[in-house]
Structure 1
């Protein structure tokens, strides 16, 4: 089911989102902090989208296509909650990526706050975590505004500097929400 925030419309990803996924994840600018770099081609995006759809079918939650409420047909990003492993740590991972046209408007924070609320209130996760590159200060600020706290460095990608692990428990989130 779709979810709305003050400015955003979130709906589960579908197979026809592949062009938008490739446009956003294939853009070198949106991958500035991603050691893997942009998606190489649309076929890679198809594989990722298939994996995301399978995750939602298996676990009941996953990735959303993100649009503005005023333009629900225009995807400006993707994000969600998924079970991921980084450096041998399995977590309920909060992830997101927005097109460059959406940057600088607080949309990532609005998205992340709603995703965390969904994770804790609707699917009853005990903890939500996120992994961010050490030099990605904008994303670190989004996580901090959302209530996630820095936990430790993790070595999730070979031969590159470590990433930062942020996390928030449902209990801490409920305390802060009062």
Structure 2
């Protein structure tokens, strides 16, 4: 399954993407706001790929590889959705992490918007949640531009400190 936008192709990861997973998640700049996501070895990247692939096998969607339409071989990053437990319910977690070399180009917003739109068509009953670090202004902009709203009442500690929550299809009582 692919998602195609004006500048991007988003596709399911395959085993040959393990090196790209490692390269991005081994980059301290890319994981600056979420240092617990830093990978030390390619074996760690294989473990990440296996988790992502398992989600795809079980649900038919997950995290996509983000690549330029003109150069599909060059991975710009990863963006997608996965089921997570949040406050005793399942929700869709929106994830996006792009290579620092493409930051500021609007590709993160383009990818996240495409993924949120995809979910609106195929999973409209599911709330979407994005966890964003308070200091990550660029990520906050991506979440907002993709259609999510700041939900301060849901903020909570995460692995790397306070998580600010952005949501879509979430009412004030924590219901979709």
1:111-135 Cα shifts (integer Å, max 9, x gaps):
1110000011023343111101111
Unaligned ranges ≥5, structure 2: 172-176
Please report how far the alpha carbon of residue 89 of structure 1 lies from its aligned counterpart in structure 2 after TM superposition.
Answer: 5.9
What is the TM-score normalised by the length of structure 2? Answer: 0.89
Instruction: Specify the alignment match of 2:115 in structure 1.
Output: 115
1:70-123 Cα shifts (integer Å, max 9, x gaps):
000111101101012357664201101111111110000001110000011023
Contact 1:83–1:92 under 8 Å retained in 2: yes
Please report how far the alpha carbon of residue 161 of structure 1 lies from its aligned counterpart in structure 2 after TM superposition.
Answer: 3.3
What is the TM-score normalised by the length of structure 1? Answer: 0.88
Establish whether residue 77 from structure 1 lines up as the match of residue 114 from structure 2: no
Distance 2:26 2:36 in 1: 11
Instruction: Specify the alignment match of 1:127 in structure 2.
Output: 127
Instruction: Specify the alignment match of 1:60 in structure 2.
Output: 60
Distance 2:39 2:87 in 1: 22
SS of residue matched to 1:76: strand
Give the RMSD, CA atoms, in angstroms: 1.8
1:24-83 Cα shifts (integer Å, max 9, x gaps):
111011011014152111100000100100001101110111100000011110110101
SS of residue matched to 1:75: strand
Instruction: Tell me how many residue pairs correspond in the alignment.
Output: 169
Contact 1:127–1:170 under 8 Å retained in 2: yes
Unaligned ranges ≥5, structure 1: 172-178
Distance 1:112 1:37 in 2: 19
Distance 1:131 1:87 in 2: 13
